[in-house]
Amino acid sequence: MSQPYSLPFQIDLTGKVAVVTGGAGVLGSAMCKSLAACGAKVVIIGRDLAKAEALATQIQASGGVAKGISCNVLDRAALENSAKLIEETFGPCDILINGAGGNHPKGITGQEYFDAETAGKEPSQTSFFDLDSEGFKFVFDLNLMGTLLPSQVFARQMLGRKGCTIINISSMSAFRPLTKVAAYSGAKAAVSNFTQWLAVHLGQSGIRVNAIAPGFFITEQNQKLMLQDDGSFTPRAQKVIAQTPMRRFGEADELIGALLWLVESKASGFVTGSIIAVDGGFSAYSGV
């Protein structure tokens, strides 16, 4: 048996069923492992079944209960089939982590500031006027609809049951839009807004809805943007570090304290509609 996952503090999730979309990524994996280490039965939903099953195997080797499922979070029928399978296997969902999300090259500008002389002349100089509407739409669908649809499907299993919660994954770009990533910034701002809307809508149902907004962490999606081949910081990463008072990137495990606090109704039972920044001070820093 592998070594148990190290937790910042222990909560008891025995008997709880946790569904984590995008669960096989760097941040999602840490969340899945921590929930399983607290006794939850964890379902890892992702497009890559092999990655989801590999993570489930790791969790099982550490004594946890986990299952990997391949499912497109934009396919409502697939989500409903997955929800039925999960309920038959483990029981109804108690905890939903909407971690699926991401960006698309066609929703990104090459320029930080519009320059008419160079705009659009090469891929690195893509301007606002060159953005592809389908690429933009893809980013909104993945992040916003990929949060909405799982919430609709799995929250139905939560109705009438105590201690159920939805945790969405927002971003620093929801607080302040980042240069170049216009689509992603807008989509994550929408996720934060939707989190608050849904918290109000479900406020009398007993289902709490909150979001975690990570600062800057090195993940598979941003690694090439943040690190050179030799491991040194890119110019964009240097800007990020300069705007982060703690002067470093976050570690995936540093999200777990906020996650477990939000999951445990005894600790955060009166918390709903909140967007919790875990960002090393990035959102608080004015740059001066």
Q: How many domains does the chain have?
A: 1
Q: Has residue 227 been placed in a domain?
A: no
Domain presence at residue 245:
no
For the chain, percent of residues with pLDDT exceeding 90 = 91
Residue 2's pLDDT band (boundaries 50, 70, 90)? low
Can you give the pLDDT at residue 92? 98
pLDDT (tens digit per residue) in 42-64: 999 999 999 999 999 999 999 99
pLDDT band at residue 278 using 50, 70 and 90 as cut-offs: very high
> What letter does residue 169 receive in the DSSP assignment?
E
User: Does residue 122 have a pLDDT over 90?
Assistant: no
* Predicted pLDDT of residue 1: 60
Please indicate, yes or no, if residue 111 is contained in any of the structural domains: yes
Which residues are CB-neighbours of 117 under 8 A, at least 6 positions away?
A: none
CATH of the domain at 106: 3.40.50.720
Burial class (CB in 10 A: 0-12, 13-18, 19+), 107: buried
Contact 168, 98 (CB under 8 A): yes
User: Do the domain assignments include residue 132?
Assistant: yes
Which neighbouring-strand residues pair with 98? 21, 168
Q: Which DSSP string corresponds to 66-83?
A: EEEEE--TT-HHHHHHHH
Residue 223 lies in a domain: no
* pLDDT digit string, tens, across residues 166-181: 999 999 999 999 999 9
Mean pLDDT of 3-29: 93
The average confidence (pLDDT) of the chain is: 95
User: Annotated catalytic, 184?
Assistant: yes
Instruction: Name the pTM for this structure.
Output: 0.95
The whole-number pLDDT of residue 238 equals 96
Domain hosting residue 207, numbered range: 17-215+250-278
pLDDT digits (tens, 9 = 90+) for 200-255: 999 999 999 999 999 999 988 888 889 998 989 999 999 999 999 999 999 999 99
* Helix, strand, coil % over all residues of the chain, rounded to 5: 45, 15, 40
Beta-bridge partner residues of 45: 21, 69
Instruction: Give mean pLDDT, residues 12-24.
Output: 97
CA angle 34, 40, 41 (to 5 degrees): 115
Distances (CA, A) of 143 to 32, 149, 261: 19, 11, 24
255: in domain: yes
Residue 236 lies in a domain: no
In a domain, 284, yes or no: no
